Structure 1
Amino acid sequence: MAGIIETIKFAGTLVLALPAALAGLELLVLRGQTGFGVALLGLAVGLVVVQHWLTTPTDVPELLAERVVGTVAKESDSESDDEP
């Protein structure tokens, strides 16, 4: 499940990717400029894919915090099952 920080990052990426995709579609479909249209669509898709899969140095503390919280939460759940 995505956290609020990941959602905000994704929205920021879409702010840049959607105008490029719409311009690419317009160039491709309406104006017949295939090269520029495909390039802009590729740029938009690339932005979203890179944002989703690339880990940047600023993401490392967030990833470590998620692992620590996940480990602590799992230990707490197992202890509560042992108690009557």
Structure 2
Amino acid sequence: MALGILEQVGLAATLIFALPVAVYGVQTILDGSTLFGAVAVLIAVLMVVLPRRLTSPDDVPAKAAETAVDAVVDTPDGSDGRDDR
């Protein structure tokens, strides 16, 4: 799944905040506090994964428009939309 430019920038911004939390979690695990470190690593993973999986209110109109276009426009399989005349 290819990411667009804005999605890549958003992922980079998320990683700026998630990576220090993950590093802190790993250091905490190595220092002996396994539970707290695992929770920190889990939070870092969720910071990256959840925005990709959840639908935000901004995504609803785009998904509705995509569904409407798919319902109206019927493209035959194997066709790329060009006329071969």
TM-score by length of 2: 0.71
Sequence identity percentage: 38
Please state how far the C-alpha of 1:12 moved relative to its aligned partner: 1.5
Aligned residues: 78
Greater helix share, 1 or 2?
A: 1
2:45 corresponds to which residue?
Answer: 45
Deviations 1:26-76 (A, max 9, x none): 0101x11112101100101111111110111123345467x39x979x7xx
TM-score by length of 1: 0.71
Q: Which has the higher contact order (CA 8 A, sep 6+)?
A: 1
1:14 corresponds to which residue?
Answer: 15
Counterparts of 2:28 and 2:20, CA distance in 1: 12
**What 5-or-longer segments of structure 2 have no aligned partner?**
none
Runs ≥4 residues deviating over 4 A: 61-65
